[in-house]
A and B are shown apart, each in its own frame.
Chain A
Amino acid sequence: MGILEVKDVGKRFGGLQALSNVNLSVQENSVHAIIGPNGAGKSTLLNCLVGKLIPDTGSVMFDGQSVLGRAPYEINQMGISRVFQTPEIFGDLTVLENMMIPCFAKRDGAFELNALSAVLRQKDILQKAEHMLEEMNMADKRHMHAAAMSRGDKRRLEIGMCLSQEPRLLLLDEPTAGMARADTNNTIDLLKQISDERDITIAIIEHDMHVVFSLANRITVLAQGTPLVEDDPQNIRGNPKVREAYLGESA
């Protein structure tokens, strides 16, 4: 029984069957990659996991509880954090404030009318945020406006924000899309370090094979809205069906 269980999920947009019979089981503490050619339904599947879309059929269980019909913020409070393809951060706020917000969300829940106590008096939150910034190697940028940072730093910050919530499942949507090679490698190292050091499950949607094979210990191949195969990386590499559907195309 995995931490995330997707059963028979189907989603149709008008005439397009975006997903059909998707079954997926993400094991606790694994790094599970979901790959597939463009239009395979990767993003649709991801959106079904985080509450942005509701599948027409099937079920999505996280840690034994259904996520269907819950709003994104509720699913996040259950323990799923999401990293976006283009970094989604609070551009108008400072880096430190960016890091504090998820800490507040973790401590106080989805809403807290905490209107009279000063932010600067929230020592526990400040400490936690500072600590996470140090871990992400961006303590020196703490008073910078987040929007002014480089793309690579924004990505780091976003991942750090997700981690500061201590999620049980971290979802990453093409975290290295549009990045230079050096930035990509840095991100891979960061994610490796995270999965080694923490008690965390990572599910990653990725296009870049280099990233997938450097990180994943389990891979699901999606093609035309259906899982083609789910296996270990070495078996996926040798699988002729996968080569045909995906690798063959890019080779």
Chain B
Amino acid sequence: MFGLDKKDTSMLIIVAILTLFAPFILNPFPTESAMAQFNAGYPDLMQRFVIFGIFAIGFNILFGLTGYLSFGHAAFLGVGSYSAVWMFKLIGMNVIPAIMLSVIVAGLFALLIGFVSLRRSGIYFSILTLAFAQMSFNLAYSVLTPITNGETGLQLTLEDPRVLGVSATADGSIPVTNLFGLEMRSTFELALGPWAFQFNAGYYLCALIMLAAFYLAIRIFRSPFGMMLRAVKSNQQRMNYTGLNTRPYTLAAFVISGMYAGLAGGLMASMDPLAGAERMQWTASGEVVLMTILGGAGTLIGPVLGAGFIKYFENIFSKINDNVLHTWFSFLPDGMEDAVVFIIHPFIGKGWHLTLGILFMLVVIFLPGGLVEGGQRIKGWLSRRKAKDSGKAAGETNPAE
């Protein structure tokens, strides 16, 4: 189906079901229950899942396939956000032109940076992209203040022209982003017994776009172009002596992944129309690297998993505090309870980055293939055990015969 083989089609369908039913799946706990704080089915967080999913899917096309480790992809995300907000300021609040412009501008920007950075490979490339990203951050933060509004970030105002829309609504407020009239913030709430599920227009727009982006990524992975990119990673020397010019291949991959990042940035601004320089900082680039590696670089599903994993636990970990821990471990004797809480304390709440750093190191050291490799290992282990068990069972029954 869709020009994919059976395995890829079923993966796409599973991802589609998971994203479309996410408001249910991510809200397993009744609203009033103590566990409700671990629900993740509210619009803001779900939007982040899929937007960062897009970002990571795109990053993976570059890093996972060609092995070129860019530390500057947040720059494209930031450029995408700025472009989208400018579209909202100048043209109107429809998200389609905004998203289109973010993808185009990010693509052009990636073409420029990629053209320069890809003249070198290996760690030189990483450092060049790092330098470009940091330069873009500095530009956005202070130099290009007329375009980016510097430290404060770019926001909508009542004075914006919005030639195809209105500068202010009838009640004198700033209009909201919409898709041909469907407001991105509009949310339908469904109460089912003690549960409450939220269906947000913005989320579903992002989710559909992510599915399209994911589908496109599958096509790229399975195409001759994708195979060439893997060949670049494997042996550039052989590429060159097989009559293939590696530079346009890597540049195309760089631009495509930059456009994915721009798309993510544009969606981010469409959900919440502001853009700030901090989105371009190199630590933000580091985050997408983390997502991709954690999920499994070079695999299709890995980056989506990684993005979801990091954003979910970022949200949960930030919510846990000492009181929550005390209720969890109240079954322990008092002294031990305090000790356990004391030990866990640095890793929760604001300590999420610490947990993330440790997790990241553990993954790189022990599980370079990320969660996907972990899953495969468990699967392999289980099937081996099963084989052994059935072998044993067979062995036991044999004498009886």
Contacts and interface: CB of A to CB of B under 8 A. Distances in A.
Interface of A: 50, 71-74, 76-77, 81-82, 84, 88-93, 97, 100-102, 104-106, 108-120, 122, 125, 161, 165
B245 A111 contact: yes
16 contacts: A72-B241, A73-B244, A89-B238, A90-B235, A92-B234, A97-B230, A101-B228, A104-B227, A105-B244, A110-B248, A111-B249, A112-B225, A113-B225, A113-B248, A114-B225, A118-B223
B219 interface: yes
A51 B213 CA distance: 40
Contacts of A88: 235, 237-238, 241
B235 A89 contact: yes
B227 A97 contact: yes
A118 B256 CA distance: 18
A73 B234 contact: no
B227 A93 contact: yes
Contacts, number: 111
Nearest to A83: B241
B242 interface: yes
Contacts of A89: 235, 238
A74 B247 CA distance: 13
B146 interface: no
Contacts of A117: 223-224
A120 B5 contact: yes
A119 B241 contact: no
A165 B220 contact: no
Nearest to B232: A90
B240 interface: yes
Given A112-B224, A115-B225, A77 B243 contact: yes
A126 to B, nearest CB: 11
Contact of A73 (B220, B227, B245): B245
Given A92-B230, A116-B219, A110 B244 contact: yes
B9 to A, nearest CB: 12
A216 B304 CA distance: 57
Contacts of B239: 73, 101
Contacts of A161: 242
B231 A93 contact: yes
B384 to A, nearest CB: 21
Contacts of B225: 112-115
A149 to B, nearest CB: 14
Most central of B228, B244, B245, B252 by chain A CB within 10 Å: B244
A93 B234 CA distance: 8
A89 B242 CA distance: 10
B233 interface: yes
A154 B80 CA distance: 46
A113 B252 contact: yes
Given A110-B244, A111-B245, A90 B222 contact: no
A119 B233 contact: no
B226 interface: yes
Contact of B242 (A74, A101, A111, A114): A101
B193 interface: no
B244 A101 contact: yes
Contacts of A115: 219-220, 223, 225-226, 252, 256
B335 interface: no
Nearest to B218: A118
B243 A73 contact: yes
Contact of B227 (A50, A72, A77, A119): A119
A120 B242 CA distance: 21
B243 A105 contact: yes
A144 to B, nearest CB: 14
B3 interface: yes
A165 to B, nearest CB: 7
Contact of A119 (B4, B224, B240, B246): B224
A97 B5 CA distance: 17
A76 B249 contact: no
B298 to A, nearest CB: 9
B67 to A, nearest CB: 9
A81 B241 contact: yes
Interface string B148-161: 00000000000000
Interface string B362-393: 00000000000000000000000000000000
Contacts of A77: 243
Given A93-B231, A101-B231, A114 B241 contact: no
Nearest to B238: A88
A101 B241 contact: no
Given A91-B234, A92-B230, 19 more contacts: A73-B239, A73-B244, A81-B241, A89-B238, A93-B230, A93-B231, A97-B227, A104-B227, A105-B242, A111-B245, A111-B249, A112-B224, A112-B225, A113-B225, A115-B220, A117-B223, A119-B223, A119-B226, A120-B5
B223 A72 contact: no
Contacts of B220: 115-116
Most central of B231, B233, B234, B243 by chain A CB within 10 Å: B243
A51 B3 CA distance: 40
A100 B227 contact: yes
A114 B238 contact: no
A222 to B, nearest CB: 22
Contacts of B249: 111
B246 to A, nearest CB: 8
